[in-house]
Amino acid sequence: MVAHFKLVEHQRKARGWKGFVLPQSNCTTVGLVVSLKPIVDAFGVKRVIATTMQAISGAGRAGGVLGLDMVDNLVPFIPKEEEKVAKETGKILGRLGEGTIAPHPMLVGATCTRAAILDGHTAAVAIETEKPCSPEAAAEALRAWGGDYAGMDLPSAPKRPIIVHDDPFRPQPRLDRDAEGGMATSVGRLRPEPALPNGLKYVCLSHNTQIGASKGLVLTAEYLYKAGLIGA
């Protein structure tokens, strides 16, 4: 979250640096966090259970997944991925403290799989909210969210950070991963989850090599420049 950028000055002072180190989050976590943020703000979230279907491009050349390995296949395990998703989701949605981030107390459980998709990470998400949240109310909150960079006129920022689909057959990677130049998170199939108190479930999709990697970092750099934290 943008509020966490205040840690840049803390890092500089604590280490005596002129520069700073700012890591990119896990590419799967990006779409999940974007879809959760408006709901966290409006209704609160206690619990998140997510199953991901991740593109083969997310593995990279060193990831051990070749195109031929994925034909007619789904790999049910990605080493260390589930731990990253759980930890980073809580941290990104956490609150800034004195020189640190207090993770959001929500419980996050993830099952991460590799699917026969070229680009685009999809997640089936079930959440327990603190306040009752109907699918209609969740859709309204998602559509209204403008992103932490709203009004900053950043070149890489999407006009619609979240696109909500009413068609139950969307989002799909081939149809929706390139929305807003690959910088939007698409959400669909919003519906109640009767297995959880105040339960809600949905499907979200984000482009793992755009908002989840290269262009996401460009957007971060644009924000840092606009905020005066880096020079031209």
Higher per-residue confidence, 67 vs 137 = 137
Write down the pLDDT at residue 52. Answer: 98
Out of 4, 10, 112, 121, the active site residue is 121
- Catalytic residue check, 133: no
Out of 27, 112, 133, 204, the active site residue is 27
- Nearest C-alpha neighbor of 205 from the set 169, 173, 164: 173
The third-level CATH classification (topology) of the domain covering 2-226 is Dihydrodipicolinate Reductase; domain 2 (3.30.360)
Whether residue 170 contacts residue 188, with contact meaning beta carbons closer than 8 Å, is answered with yes
pLDDT band at 1 (very low <50, low <70, confident <90, very high): low
**Beta pairing class for 101-102 and 95-96:** antiparallel
- Catalytic residue check, 27: yes
* pTM to 2 decimal places: 0.94
The encoded tokens of residue 127 equal 């959440």
Write down the pLDDT at residue 202. Answer: 99
Looking at this protein, which amino acid is placed at residue 24? Q
Write down the pLDDT at residue 232. Answer: 62
Write down the pLDDT at residue 29. Answer: 97
Please give the Cα distance from 8 to 224 (Å, whole number). Answer: 10
Question: What are the extents of the domains in the chain?
Answer: 2-226
